[in-house]
Chains A and B, each alone.
Chain A
């Protein structure tokens, strides 16, 4: 496998994962905002902070109202992490390695791009928002299904899997950090009353609520949710699950020892974390720590597997 192709595969899947995660997040938060108790102003800027683009947004906007935030997240040209921008880049990347993928894959990515371009209007209002974003997610998921059902478990497949899991772990740690902090204005009496409900929404933003309910409880208290999202070994968006996937991928690649050591460091940090303690203090610092660890894994992968080709990608995300 060419180093350049491996790098492009890795980024292609990070971009589509980012687009899908953003779509899921917008849908969950839109529903959540409808449930807000009277007197609590819903902070749409939370979404910007989760995506790590709040600074960029406020360069162009004075206020984070719903329409402006949604527009910025889905297709604004000034946001390199918008859903449309991510899918466009994923499509351009795919052009450069069509020959290593099942033949239909390009058609489907292209179709995902055309759908996104044509349907994510600037004013994606609440009435259409859910359906259109679901359709984007469904299209992306059919590509995942296509690859899983028709692609050999060769190096190309493993680099796709690697990019997906690094991006996912990053998103989970950011939602835990920023999401909970802003969704839950701690200490206020209203917030305390709605504590259960708000942690439930953190789970929903990661499409994790149904599985949490099955594995843990119908009640969502902070310590249990933090524990679940960091350490549950079964749900595919938890940090520990992503790290296990990354480890498995690396074991199939040539000479992974030095990269595996970096992953092991992050895994140890995670293991030593105490969710009950974190629910009281230090969650923000801990999330930062995890994100930094993911950035180190990304750097090690680049150095070890992509170094022979000059990097043509720019990572605009917060991690890495």
Chain B
């Protein structure tokens, strides 16, 4: 485990813009000169303008614990993260490769289960999967694709390499912030945009539209596409509304939809019922259809699964796709790529210890102070143990949790996340970042130019989730350096 042994070697931290001597990397030279040429009061004034713009635009998210407060401005840092296009091209290929393999895996799991029969993937992992949906067995969605929208979390380690931290295949969010960040940056530093060739990212909504349109069961006509949201109190409601607007799609809630006797989905309009072809759903499987999943769900649509299984409506991501979004299943993705595509993974996984295996478990229990322990099915950074920052009490609590339910836990070495210079109260200082590009797949595949760079705004913190004090930066894929 070479990565684990390098934990905490702060000197070995990789900075995205500066080299080990603190000098700007070649790609960042122009930006650096520009920033240092700006009088501090001018920079402060521009930052203030951007903060006001964020406030006015109402770019917000919700933290579940902030009861009653549905607004929090999106914390945005003005210093962008930069990646050379040549490097990005390779990452992009790696992301497409990964999603292709994951989709083949999901189809296989709900059909022949060849990968289990061939001894590559253990049957017991599947048996314990919280996100396996028996109702999906035998389904073959259009184009063989289940996960149409994937938000892959990447981190760059001190060795300078990108690693995949997790695949978010259920309802990944953040893409609207990526798009808004770019708009803010253009207002903030228009001069720098003329200095660099920065790949635009504005085409995402159009690409998403095409991806969804390809799922329509009715050929020929312009498909009726809806974005299904749990409602205004959901933390990502801003994004649901934003994407619907950008795609010219209808933003609907469960109460707006109904499945009629013909097993087709309709929305209730002022003119009566109108047929829906494709649903981009932003609610979890559990809540989709009270007839099949949680009977107490008021967010979903009774009969939706029936309509989907009859092929009368496209749903993205498909119900059941979450079976591959599990931190234990994650550990097998490199094998899946080899098995289904006969290729080597272009972007490596972070080495992972699966507590279901005795040998791994013993190692994890003996090294809790050095590892990050994650539950298999949580998202948003909840329920994790960050070993080096944990108390003895927390560690013994996790040891207990692991022993009681080993299948539900996996551990990884604490990566030394790369940093980007960030504007802080103490001036410009390094802060840890990750990167979430968004990958689309239906009859075609697409990767955003860059993605959402999330930054841990607290000094030394490695937690970048917006629900836990994280912010974000614009991400520039730069063609040809200068």
Contact = CB atoms under 8 A, between A and B. Distances in A.
Interface of A: 1-6, 92, 95-99, 103, 106-107, 110-111, 114, 155, 253-255, 305, 308-310
B267 interface: yes
Contacts of A111: 56
B346 to A, nearest CB: 37
A1 B269 contact: yes
A99 B256 contact: no
A107 B57 contact: yes
A107 B183 CA distance: 14
A155 B250 CA distance: 14
A2 B250 contact: yes
A6 B270 contact: yes
Contacts of B253: 4
Interface string B238-251: 00011011000111
B55 interface: yes
B252 interface: yes
Contacts of A92: 232
A310 B256 CA distance: 10
Contacts of B251: 5, 96-97, 99
B58 interface: yes
Given A97-B251, A99-B251, A103-B245, A254 B270 contact: yes
Interface in B220-267: 232, 237, 241-242, 244-245, 249-253, 255-256, 267
A3 B268 contact: yes
Interface of B: 55-58, 232, 237, 241-242, 244-245, 249-253, 255-256, 267-272
B175 to A, nearest CB: 15
B237 A2 contact: no
Contacts of B55: 110, 114
Contacts of B242: 98-99
A259 B314 CA distance: 37
Which of B244, B255, B272: most chain A CB closer than 10 A? Answer: B255
Nearest to B226: A2
Which of B241, B252, B253, B269: most chain A CB closer than 10 A? Answer: B269
A106 B270 contact: no
B244 A254 contact: no
Contacts of B249: 99
A95 B244 contact: no
27 contacts: A1-B271, A2-B250, A2-B267, A3-B269, A3-B270, A4-B253, A4-B268, A92-B232, A95-B58, A95-B237, A95-B241, A96-B232, A96-B241, A98-B241, A99-B241, A99-B249, A107-B56, A110-B55, A110-B57, A110-B58, A111-B56, A114-B56, A253-B270, A254-B272, A308-B268, A309-B255, A309-B268
B379 to A, nearest CB: 24
Given A253-B270, A254-B271, A4 B256 contact: yes
Give the dominant DSSP class at B's interface: mixed
Nearest to B55: A114
A312 to B, nearest CB: 9
Nearest to B267: A2
A1 B270 contact: yes
B232 A95 contact: yes
B378 to A, nearest CB: 28
B245 A2 contact: no
A111 to B, nearest CB: 5
A304 to B, nearest CB: 9
B252 A2 contact: yes
Contacts of A106: 57-58
Contacts of A254: 270-272
B252 to A, nearest CB: 6
B480 to A, nearest CB: 33
B69 to A, nearest CB: 13
B299 to A, nearest CB: 14
Nearest to B248: A99
A292 to B, nearest CB: 25
Contacts of A253: 270
Contacts of A97: 251
Contact of A99 (B244, B270, B271, B272): B244
Contacts of B58: 95, 106-107, 110
Which of A4, A6, A111, A255: most chain B CB closer than 10 A? Answer: A4
Which of B251, B270, B272: most chain A CB closer than 10 A? Answer: B270
Contacts of B232: 92, 95-96
A114 B244 CA distance: 25
A300 B58 CA distance: 35
Nearest to A110: B58
Contacts of B271: 1, 254-255
Sorted nearest first, the 8 A-B pairs with minimum C-beta distance are: A99-B245, A308-B268, A99-B244, A254-B271, A110-B58, A305-B270, A98-B241, A3-B268
B253 to A, nearest CB: 7
Nearest to B231: A96
Contacts of A305: 270
A237 B329 CA distance: 65
A2 B273 CA distance: 9
Contacts of A99: 241-242, 244-245, 249-251
Contacts of B237: 95
A105 B250 CA distance: 18
A103 B179 CA distance: 14
A226 B269 CA distance: 40
B56 A2 contact: no
A98 to B, nearest CB: 5
B255 A310 contact: yes
Given A4-B253, A309-B256, 8 more contacts: A1-B270, A2-B267, A5-B251, A95-B232, A96-B251, A106-B58, A110-B58, A310-B255
A253 B58 CA distance: 32
A4 B255 contact: yes
Contacts of A5: 251
Nearest to A7: B270
A60 B345 CA distance: 70
B270 A98 contact: no
Contact of B270 (A95, A103, A155): A155
Which of B242, B245, B249: most chain A CB closer than 10 A? Answer: B245
Contacts of A95: 58, 232, 237, 241
